[in-house]
Amino acid sequence: MKQLFLVFLCIASAAAQNVVSKEFDYNEFLGYVKKYHPLVKNANLEISKAQANLMMARGGFDPKIEVDFSEKQFKDKEYYSILNSSFKIPTWYGVEIKAGFDNSEGVYLNPQNTLPNQGSTSLGITVPLGQGLLINQRMADVRKAKMQIQLSQAERKLQAVAILYDASVAYFNWKKSFDEVILYEQYNKNAQIRFKGIKNLIQQGDKPAIDSIEAGIIVKNRTLNLIDAQLKLAKAKLELSNFIWLENNIPLELSDELIPETELEFTIQETLKTNDLLNADFSITNHPKINALQSKIDILNVDKKLKANMLLPKIDIGYSYLSEPSYFDQYQFENYKIGLDFYFPLFLRKERGGLKLAKYKIQETEFALSLEKVQLTNKINAQKMEIESLLKQKELVKSLAQDNSMMLNSEERLFSFGESSLFLINTRENNLVSAQLSKIALENRYFISNSELFKIMANLD
């Protein structure tokens, strides 16, 4: 009877391991997250927004048509009719080219607005000799908008990597919960079969009745552990479903038929490309965080140049050649209009204060850049050490589980000869379950550690 009891136990163990389901690969899961997750799409929108800002900045150099027309009629008299129209072309270095046509007539026309009967045409240029020549607000806006695209690309990578990291942790927790459920299902079946076998032995008089109480306690404990593990698995599935989407923002729920990748420990480093880092030194020169901070420094440098340019006096000189439309091809340089605008604050306190603030912001960002370089280097080295340590721990706990399994098998063999007790079998099995739970937990730490290294590297390519 004891030998038959052990045969039933082995059959139950084999049946528990015979799971027919479809694997949901980790690499396939990340593909769904990269392509369809709403937050990843939001990260991609940052680049589109930066490109739209660049378009707006370039709009400062668009040619402009301006028309100003005013007319007054009173008691059948035309007091005045004045038309001022112009076509302006802003250029990169603050120079503005302007062509215009003016016409005016009326009884009570202001003498300074008196023009030839056919009107007056003009062609002129305005040149800034102080502020706005080497750099102006329009130039600064375009330069900063171009740099903002580079900044947005770096920030988009960081946002996408953070989402992929959260999704990876959810996947690993799902796998951990799934493995624990499989483990508890297996040993729950073993405990139930053992309980039935003990009851049969008690009926035959081979075992005392108290053994059924002990076997029943194990069944209840295993059932309690299984129910708790199933609850954790259900919650892990729902958490993982937050990251599974299809086109048109359609959310999906994880099917019960899907199971996590069984050979994940052999493929995770290739999927996350952390194996290259572990085998070679990783350069942080092109890291998105470094690129983002460098782009911010470049944007602040443009602001600093603009603030420094404000210390110069504002001197705008303009010249326009005037002619009647029918005589525009006959150059008469004595017909012209010239203007000069001059502006200069005596103390320049506002301008000097703005320049100092711009310099302080650059220094602040440079300090942050230096700190980030050191932190990234140390984080990468620490994460590499953790992964190497976890690999060693995994081997030890794997060996521990094998040893405990051998001890349990030996105890069951002794039990079949009547030289052991149910208490010792349960003790050996508890040690084996603890070792296998530690193995699952260490695997989970190993997976998360690799994903943390992926997050630190921030390498989506």
Question: Tens digit of pLDDT for each residue in 415-446?
Answer: 777 777 777 887 888 888 999 999 999 999 99
CA angle 306, 310, 312 (to 5 degrees): 125
> In this structure, are strands 258-260 and 120-128 parallel, antiparallel, or unpaired?
unpaired
Strand 64-74 relative to strand 245-246, pairing: unpaired
Q: What is the signed CA dihedral for 374, 376, 382, 383, rounded to 10 degrees?
A: -170
Tokens coding 202: 């008690």
**CA-CA-CA-CA torsion for 308, 310, 312, 317, nearest 10 degrees?**
140
pLDDT at 10: 40
The topology (CATH level 3) of 2-57+139-299+359-457 is Outer membrane efflux proteins (OEP) (1.20.1600)
CB 159 within 8 A of CB 459: no
The total of other beta-carbon atoms located within 10 Å of residue 327's CB is 13
pLDDT in tens, the chain (461 residues): 444 333 333 433 433 344 446 899 999 999 999 898 998 888 888 888 889 989 988 888 899 999 999 988 888 888 888 999 999 999 888 899 999 999 888 887 878 778 888 888 889 999 999 888 889 889 999 999 999 999 999 999 999 999 999 999 999 999 999 999 999 999 899 888 877 877 776 777 666 666 678 778 888 988 999 999 999 999 999 999 999 998 888 888 888 889 999 999 999 998 988 887 666 667 788 899 999 999 999 999 999 999 999 999 999 999 998 888 776 566 666 788 899 999 998 899 999 999 999 999 999 999 999 999 999 999 998 999 999 999 999 999 999 999 888 988 887 788 777 777 777 887 888 888 999 999 999 999 999 999 999 999 887 76
Helix (H) or strand (E) holding 88: strand 77-90
Give me the half-sphere count of Cα atoms (radius 13 Å) on the Cβ side of residue 126. Answer: 17
Rounded Cα gap, residues 300 and 339, in angstroms: 35
205: alpha, beta or left? (left if phi > 0; alpha if psi -120 to 50): left
* Comma-separated ranges of CATH 1.20.1600.10 domains in the chain: 2-57+139-299+359-457
Q: Which is it for the CA torsion 268, 270, 274, 280, positive or negative? A: positive
Long-range Cβ contact pairs of 97-102 (< 8 A, separation 24 or more):
97/124, 97/125, 98/122, 98/123, 98/124, 98/125, 98/126, 98/320, 99/123, 99/124, 100/124, 100/320, 101/325
pTM (2 decimals)? 0.82
pLDDT of residue 241: 93
> Which amino acid would we find at residue 112?
Q
Of 344, 364, 346, residue with least CA distance to 356: 364
